[in-house]
């Protein structure tokens, strides 16, 4: 919903309630903000790294103190259950502190001084970073860009999704430092990403947005990191145990945030001989862990989807196979954009539910006959973000996992329970490029600049060679 120059955010669990309103940032205002950020960046980069990290440490403490109120706001604007919102904010704080701890090593000069010469590798900031973030995990996905960008000495301008602008704005205020926020849709995003003073672009979102961002950045020759969608397969080998704990984990790996997670388990593959056993265990797990309702209500584990359009798209996916409604519903389904989560058994393998990213609380399970056929099915398609393999034999699982076409493979789990701050995350194929988390994620926000004195030309050396046909010695 929007008015003249404003964006009003409704509560997807109570669609008659407006949670908050933000002012839209027109393109001419984006220009002013980026230029201010550019001026601030030079002063920020001139500060010593420990000083910059001290600012981030104070920001982590401020966000931690504000988490109860921020979590409620995030639940109201996004429809995520309150516990998930507290968890997301806590994870953002953890990541901030991880960056504070690891940035000194990641951003230190590297010096090599030996018989061949002296090389100094510097890690220098880009300048102004443009970050465009989605609505489904708005705080952590913004923080994955804000924290390393600021630590490295960049300034950053964040454009959150119009579907979740409120909590990110509050978090930006708490961070302070040279980070700014702009609000709006495609026009605002284009003005930011295509600005002449933006030196790096970081985007998380869907394929359509990724193409638009990549095209704009490419036109300016601006480097980018893109984390796009996934259609993650979860493959159960024939020895996988269907324990209560494993099934509980799997159900939430599909239905956390109402299935609206890029790295959710979106396609389940089970040996045909064990399909009936699997379905029984899965339905029992859903009865234990899935309660759909108001995200602020005690005991609720799944809220509404983000919008009316998302609700209609989710309901349209339940068009083939045997559909099992899952868990319990607690509340008024007519009050918001609620969709009863569903497991669809043996749908048409060519249906949109199987071949496309659902981003909805509907998940298919399909039987397979042998490992080669399931590997081919799992690797089919243009997306390659995540995958998982489940087995009682870890070595067998790792051997199978090596053959996935995926940027990140989980073993005996999937989604959030398998993430690690020390493991780089990102996709292959058309699921994007670049990495977040770990030292690879920190490296996305610096440029390596080299100073080199070859041994032959250092003071006191006998100068030899150097003609037009000379090549380096090593």
What is the set of active-site residues? Answer: 227
What are 73's two structure tokens?
Answer: 């706001």
Q: Residue 72: helix, strand or coil by DSSP?
A: helix
Whole-number Å distance between alpha carbons of 11 and 17: 6
Whole-number Å distance between alpha carbons of 33 and 25: 10
Whole-number Å distance between alpha carbons of 1 and 253: 31
β-bridge pairing 14-23 and 110-114 = unpaired
Give the max Cα distance, the chain.
85
β-bridge pairing 446-454 and 117-125 = antiparallel
Q: Residue 120: helix, strand or coil by DSSP?
A: strand
Residue 346, judged by CB atoms within 10 A of its CB (0-12, 13-18, 19+), counts as middle
Query: Angle at Cα 349 formed by Cα 345 and Cα 350, nearest 5°?
Result: 135
Beta strands in 283-321 (DSSP E): 291-293
What are 276's two structure tokens?
Answer: 């009936």
């Amino acid at each position: 919903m929007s008015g003249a120059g404003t964006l009003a955010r409704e509560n997807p669990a109570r669609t008659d309630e407006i949670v908050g309103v933000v002012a839209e940032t027109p393109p001419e205002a984006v220009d002013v903000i980026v230029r201010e950020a550019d001026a601030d960046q030079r002063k920020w980069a001139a500060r010593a790294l420990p000083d910059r990290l001290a600012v981030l440490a104070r920001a982590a403490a401020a966000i931690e103190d504000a988490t109860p109120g921020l979590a409620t706001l995030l639940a109201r604007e996004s429809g995520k259950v309150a516990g998930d919102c507290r968890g997301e904010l806590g994870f953002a704080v953890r990541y901030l502190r991880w960056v504070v701890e690891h940035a000194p090593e990641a951003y230190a000069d590297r010096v090599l001084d030996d018989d061949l010469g002296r090389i100094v590798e510097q890690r220098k900031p880009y300048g102004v970073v443009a970050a465009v973030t989605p609505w489904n995990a708005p705080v952590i996905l913004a923080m994955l860009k804000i924290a390393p960008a600021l630590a490295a000495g960049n300034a950053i301008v964040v454009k959150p999704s119009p579907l979740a602008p409120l909590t990110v704005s509050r978090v930006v205020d708490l961070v302070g430092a040279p980070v700014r926020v702009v609000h709006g849709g495609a026009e605002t995003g284009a003005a930011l990403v295509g600005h002449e003073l933006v030196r790096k672009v970081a985007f998380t979102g869907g394929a359509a947005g990724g193409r638009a961002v990549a095209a704009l950045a490419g036109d300016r020759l601006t480097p980018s990191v893109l984390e796009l969608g996934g259609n993650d397969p979860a493959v159960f080998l024939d020895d996988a145990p269907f324990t209560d704990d494993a099934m509980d984990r799997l159900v939430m790996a599909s239905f956390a945030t109402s299935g609206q997670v890029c790295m959710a388990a979106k396609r389940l593959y089970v040996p045909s001989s064990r399909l009936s056993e699997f379905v029984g265990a899965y339905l029992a797990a859903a009865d234990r862990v899935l309660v759909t309702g108001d995200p602020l209500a005690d005991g609720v584990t799944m809220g509404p989807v983000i919008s009316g359009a998302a609700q209609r798209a989710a309901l349209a996916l339940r068009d083939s196979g045997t559909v099992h409604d899952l868990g319990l519903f607690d509340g008024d389904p007519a009050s918001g954009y609620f969709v009863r989560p569903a497991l669809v058994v043996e749908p048409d393998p060519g249906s949109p539910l199987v071949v496309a990213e659902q981003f909805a609380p509907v998940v298919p399970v399909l039987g397979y006959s042998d490992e080669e056929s399931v590997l081919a099915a799992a690797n089919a398609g243009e997306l390659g973000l995540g995958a998982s393999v489940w087995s009682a034999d870890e070595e067998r699982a790792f051997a199978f996992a090596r053959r996935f076409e995926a940027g990140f493979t989980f073993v005996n789990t999937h989604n959030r329970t398998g993430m690690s701050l020390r493991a780089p995350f990102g996709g292959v194929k058309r699921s994007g490029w670049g990495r977040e988390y770990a030292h690879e994620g920190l490296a996305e926000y610096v440029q390596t600049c080299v100073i080199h004195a070859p041994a032959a030309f250092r003071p006191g050396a006998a100068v030899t060679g150097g003609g037009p046909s000379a090549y380096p010695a090593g």
